[in-house]
Amino acid sequence: MSRFRSLLSLLPLLAVACAAPATDRRPERPNLVVLFADDLGYGDLGCFGHPIIRTPNLDRMAAEGTRFTQFYSASPACTASRYSLLTGRLAARSGFAWVLVPSSPRGLHAAERTLADELREAGYATAAVGKWHLGNRPEFLPLAHGFDEYLGLPYSNDMLPPRWPPIPPLEGDKEVESGPDQSTLTRRYTERALSFIDRNRDRPFFLYLAYAMPHVPLHPGAAFAGRSPRGAYGDAVEEIDWSVGRILDRLRRLGLAERTLVLFTSDNGPWIIKGLDGGSAGLLRDGKGSTWEGGMREPAIFWWPGTVPAGRVERAVASTLDLFPTALELAGRPLPEPGRGRNGAVLDGRSILPLLLGRGAPEDRPFFYHGPGHVLHAVRLGRWKLHLKTSSQTGKEYFEGRVPLLFDLERDPSETRDLAAEEPEVVARLTALAAEHEREVAEHGSFWDRG
């Protein structure tokens, strides 16, 4: 009888073991590679519907991985978006400007914990390559924030003379050149990324590759310039596609594909005021700098052969804020408290591992759109998006600038039909969520503001 009881006591454990699906046999501490384009539009890849730009490597990445159709950057601007990707925190908590310039006094605060800090402590080799844009003083640079190595430009490729000094490529935190030929950047970044992968093939690694392109001024490499019928913008995107192809090929050839999660996405939407030197948000409204969908919804592809299902399309809402907790879960470094970093800082994302594994969406949670100056512009919950403020770099006042505006983003992805008058209860619910969020953000200010 006691034997029978002890067998019985094992049953729950057996049930758990049997319920664990095959994909839980995924490798421990997988590598993480984040490939981050600059100002790429939602509609600018072949697999997201562009008719002209050739992206065979990204299309293959999507065929071998999962394409997200409602994936957001955390901000429609470069600096703020990058802060959120690396810290898992909304840039309204950063304590610094929406877009940093070379003379900005602030940058990434010493007390912030980045994904690189976390993964390095978990035993990962870490490298940042490309655009940083979180402060250009040494204490703000990648080496001070968890990265073992860095090669890149500390800010945007359009911050140039005569207003600014010649752009300084850095190796670590040392200036190694002045005013480089920008057409070499994508190639050099790619070579550095490949070298980092080669050198760390035998241990877990985190590679953060933030391309300079297709941000203006467009400088595609010599092998790409003048090749795309879409013009210089197409050339720059096609060179990034080439770069992605080389990196995935290297992972395959080194036998690392099945233990590397790769994310390709962009920091914000297309810079449409640049005309044909800017990209296209496809069927989405507006672009960079705006909290209309075109400003923040990005093409996104997750790739991890054997773990992330091939050829899937994921339509759940997710964002770059989710990368931080997802990567920590994969690295086996759970946080002491959900929604809080190891430094006590508020985290705004959550793990999307179930989405990556194709196991369905977690329950709805709000997504917040912050516009210029980190001002809350809009909130999304499920299919509903409420605009409390709107702005566009084009100067256009869609809907005569009227707010609030309510859209059903699934029925109406192009934000054409305002339903605020028809759905007062939804407006009230989202308005309350927004007010609560603003209070919470005001309460949990930046490390800078704590003195």
**Choice between 70 and 200, CB closer to a copy of itself:** 70
Sign of CA dihedral 228, 182, 43, 392: negative
Burial class of residue 122 (count of CB atoms within 10 Å of its CB; 0-12, 13-18, 19+) = middle
Q: Is 49 in the site for a copy of itself (CB under 8 A)?
A: yes
Residues paired with residue 151 on neighbouring β-strands, in sequence order: 129, 171
Q: What is the spatial distance between Cα 188 and Cα 153, in angstroms, rounded to a whole number?
A: 12
Closest approach of Cβ 369 to a copy of itself, in Å?
A: 17
- Size of site (CB under 8 A) for a copy of itself: 34
- Helix (H) or strand (E) segment spanning residue 318: strand 318-319
Per CB under 8 A, the list member of 26, 32, 37, 50 interacting with a copy of itself is 50
Query: 365 or 417, CB closer to a copy of itself?
Result: 417
- Interacting span for a copy of itself (CB under 8 A) from 15-23, 192-200, 228-236, 240-248: 228-236
Contact, 134 vs 111, CB < 8 A?
no
Beta strands in 173-256 (DSSP E): 174-175, 205-210
Which residues are within 8 A (CB) of 385 and not within 5 positions of it... i.e. 6 or more apart? 293, 369, 378, 379, 406, 407, 409, 415
Tell the burial category of 294 from Cβ atoms under 10 Å away from its Cβ (0-12, 13-18, 19+). buried
**Rule CB under 8 A: which of 297-326 touch a copy of itself?**
297, 311, 313, 315
By CB under 8 A, tell whether 214 contacts a copy of itself.
no
Between 329 and 423, CB nearer to a copy of itself: 423
Q: Taking the complex as a whole, how short is the minimal distance between the CB of residue 228 and a copy of itself, in angstroms?
A: 9
Task: CB nearer to a copy of itself: give 43 or 180.
Answer: 43
Sketch the per residue contact string, 259 through 288, with a copy of itself: x for CB under 8 A, - otherwise: ----------------xx---x-xx-----
Closest contact distance (angstroms) between CB of 290 and a copy of itself is: 17
* Placement of tokens 């999962």 in the chain: 66
Classify residue 378 by its DSSP letter: E
Concerning whether 78 is annotated as a catalytic residue, the answer is yes
Q: Is 203 near a copy of itself (CB under 8 A)?
A: no
**Taking a C-beta distance cutoff of 8 angstroms, is the pair 427, 307 a contact?**
no
Which residue lies nearer to a copy of itself by CB, 193 or 272? 272
User: Binding a copy of itself by CB under 8 A: which of 54, 285, 370, 387?
Assistant: 54
Angle 224-101-185 from CA coordinates, rounded to 5°? 20
> Catalytic site residue 133?
yes
CA distance 91 to 98: 8
Q: Which stretch binds a copy of itself (CB under 8 A): 215-223, 407-415, 433-441, 443-451?
A: 407-415
**175, 181, 198, 410: which one contacts a copy of itself (CB under 8 A)?**
410
422 contacts a copy of itself (rule: CB under 8 A) = no
AA letter at 113: R
C-alpha R_g of the chain: 22
Assess 173 for contact with a copy of itself (CB under 8 A): no
Of 75-83, 132-140, 230-238, 429-437, the segment contacting a copy of itself by CB under 8 A is: 230-238
Question: Pairing mode, if any, of strands 260-266 and 205-210?
Answer: unpaired
User: Rule CB under 8 A: which residues touch a copy of itself?
Assistant: 43, 46-52, 54, 59, 63, 69-70, 229-231, 234, 275-276, 280, 282-283, 297, 311, 313, 315, 383, 410-414, 416-417
Among all residues, which ones are annotated catalytic?
78, 133
